[in-house]
Chain A
Amino acid sequence: MAALINVPSKARRGDTIEIRTLTSHIMETGFRHTADGTLVPRDIITSFTCRYNGTEIFRADLFPAIAANPYLSFFTVAKESGKLEFEWIGDNGYSSTASASITVE
């Protein structure tokens, strides 16, 4: 499943807007064992960033205690029309991106 993004399509300049993201990922902690005692290797997302017209406006580091399918919600100020870009990076070379457009009037 692709990432889910919720960004208001339109906003007034100076408005505080909420941005919601959810990406599907197992977030395997690396602390669990299978029935035969083998350690299940860690497989988590380690970093999330959001750029607004190229400028980083939000970053989060993720850790094993975060549940599967991490859902992040954060706020920014609508300054100009353009593009919001999202990037998730994780173990085993995991990388996923998404983007959304906003019109600021």
Chain B
Amino acid sequence: MNAPVTRRDAILGITAVATSLAVPSILHAQSAGRIVVVGGGFGGAACARALKRAQRSLQVILIEPNAVFTSCPFSNEVVAGLRDIEAQQFGYDTLAAEGITVIRQAVTTIEPQQRSVLTADGVALPYDRLVLSPGIDFHFEGLPGYDEAAAEIMPHAWKAGAQTLLLRRQLEAMEDGGTVAIAIPANPSRCPPAPYERASLIAHYLKTKKPRSKVLILDAKDNFSQQRLFEKAWKELYGDMIERVALSQGGRATSVDPATKTIITEFGNYTPDVANVIPPQRAGSIAEIAGAADATGWCPIDPVTFESKLVKNVHVIGDACLGGGIPKSASAASAQGKACAAAIINLFAGRAPEAPRLTGVCYNTVAPGYGFSLAGNYQPKGDIFAEVEGGATSPVDAPRELRAREATEAERWFQTITADTFG
């Protein structure tokens, strides 16, 4: 997935330099090439890096409040006790060494008219192009009773870090014979198959350490990504340990009561021993501050350039954008970051941006040595991305050697994407 994009970026870089030498007005545009990227996750960091690599003369500023990034992919393994959180954490030293200005601040205001970003310490940073990669925030109004305080009792663990460790501690503290409930929201949400991977890995932990316990999935969806693969694996590995109440069986959580640790659905109340409540989501709050989010809570974009449909000179990538068929995953965010960088380079050079072809790949590990995957290709179609040919899902009937190989490939994918983004 990464090789073609990198090659194209390199070619674009060369072309841009050649054009700038020939046309003085573009030289001017280039010297004013100042791009601010907000959000240092898989999307933002990949975009900043691709910009700087394509054209060293660009001034690339990355604003991110955290000194250390904690990766959501593979954090379900931390929840299950199979991995240390340190293995999920990455810094920004390499990006800084490559000439990207990394500013450790939170963004408080965006002034699209003045083309300026204001950080919490009161500094104004002007830009020619702004890239927002804010990830997700929670839509608490969508789940009455749930808020930051409730998340300390009923953790979402849907942003990796302290929440991941909190859910881990709750699982460790639970007595054998307990029930772990996972409330899953409707789409769009971050990484659609991940809640089911989590259910699988929690079942693995329970099976090995607390075998009389159960996992109860309360689901606001009837169908989900790679459902047949998951259900087959659950049957093979965990028997009836995982129970799922789908939307049409009354599985949608409508509110929660943190005081009694109750999850209320349309047709019943559940009081599990551990309540992992994943609330409905929307684009990270920076998108709203910029005026780039619409009534859905997400950001409509031009899928060729990722430029916001609502705010000029602002691009939105990653989980926050309305991507249509493209899932909200790390892999998709990274591909979008690179494609957005290529589009910006073209816009600076006065060339028409090329329609990107993005690849998103998603690995699920349901037990150590048991993995499967889904890969999809996406291209702009109208206002969104549509899936095009060339995608592949692991076969439902496959020998265990293939599952073992895919589990190893998943590890390698993680090493590759994190090295590509931060290493």
Name the interface residues of A22-77: CB closer than 8 Å to any CB of B: 22, 24, 68-69, 71
Q: How far is it, in angstroms, between the C-alpha of A71 and the C-alpha of B251 when the chains are bound? A: 13
A68 and B248 form a contact (CB under 8 A): yes
Name the interface residues of B235-259: CB closer than 8 Å to any CB of A: 248-250
Contacts of B266 in A (CB 8 A): 4, 6, 20, 22, 71
Q: How far is it, in angstroms, between the C-alpha of A24 and the C-alpha of B245 when the chains are bound? A: 13
B248 contact from A5, A6, A69, Cβ within 8 A: A69
A6 and B249 form a contact (CB under 8 A): no
Q: How far is it, in angstroms, between the C-alpha of A1 and the C-alpha of B222 when the chains are bound? A: 15
**Shortest Cβ distance from residue A66 to the other chain B in the assembled complex, whole angstroms:** 13
Q: How far is it, in angstroms, between the C-alpha of A6 and the C-alpha of B250 when the chains are bound? A: 10
**Total A-B pairs, Cβ < 8 A:** 22
Q: Could you say which interface size class chain B belongs to?
A: under 10
Contacts of B248 in A (CB 8 A): 22, 24, 68-69, 71
B249 contact from A4, A5, A20, Cβ within 8 A: A4
Residue of A nearest to B248 (CB): A69
Q: How far is it, in angstroms, between the C-alpha of A69 and the C-alpha of B266 when the chains are bound? A: 14
Q: Which of B248, B250, B268 has the most CB of A within 10 A?
A: B248
**Shortest Cβ distance from residue A93 to the other chain B in the assembled complex, whole angstroms:** 23
**Shortest Cβ distance from residue A65 to the other chain B in the assembled complex, whole angstroms:** 17
Residue of A nearest to B268 (CB): A6
Residue of A nearest to B266 (CB): A20
Contact digits for A1-14, partner B, Cβ 8 Å, 1 yes 0 no: 10011100000000
Residue of B nearest to A70 (CB): B248
Residue of B nearest to A20 (CB): B266
Q: How far is it, in angstroms, between the C-alpha of A40 and the C-alpha of B152 when the chains are bound? A: 51
Contacts of B268 in A (CB 8 A): 6
Residue of A nearest to B252 (CB): A71
Q: How far is it, in angstroms, between the C-alpha of A51 and the C-alpha of B266 when the chains are bound? A: 21
Q: How far is it, in angstroms, between the C-alpha of A1 and the C-alpha of B268 when the chains are bound? A: 15
Contacts of A69 in B (CB 8 A): 248
Q: How far is it, in angstroms, between the C-alpha of A24 and the C-alpha of B249 when the chains are bound? A: 8
Contacts of A4 in B (CB 8 A): 249-250, 266-267
Q: How far is it, in angstroms, between the C-alpha of A22 and the C-alpha of B250 when the chains are bound? A: 8
Contacts of A1 in B (CB 8 A): 249
Contacts of B249 in A (CB 8 A): 1, 4, 24
Contacts of A6 in B (CB 8 A): 250, 266-268
Jot down 21 A-B pairs with beta carbons below 8 A, ordered by A. A1-B249, A4-B249, A4-B266, A4-B267, A5-B267, A6-B250, A6-B266, A6-B267, A6-B268, A20-B266, A20-B267, A22-B248, A22-B250, A22-B266, A22-B267, A24-B248, A24-B249, A68-B248, A69-B248, A71-B248, A71-B266
User: Residues of B with Cβ closer than 8 Å to A?
Assistant: 248-250, 266-268
Q: Apart from A4-B266, A22-B250, what are 10 other A-B pairs with CB-CB below 8 Å? A: A4-B250, A4-B267, A5-B267, A6-B250, A20-B267, A22-B248, A24-B248, A24-B249, A68-B248, A71-B266
Closest 10 CB pairs of A and B: A69-B248, A4-B267, A4-B250, A6-B267, A20-B266, A22-B250, A24-B248, A6-B266, A1-B249, A20-B267
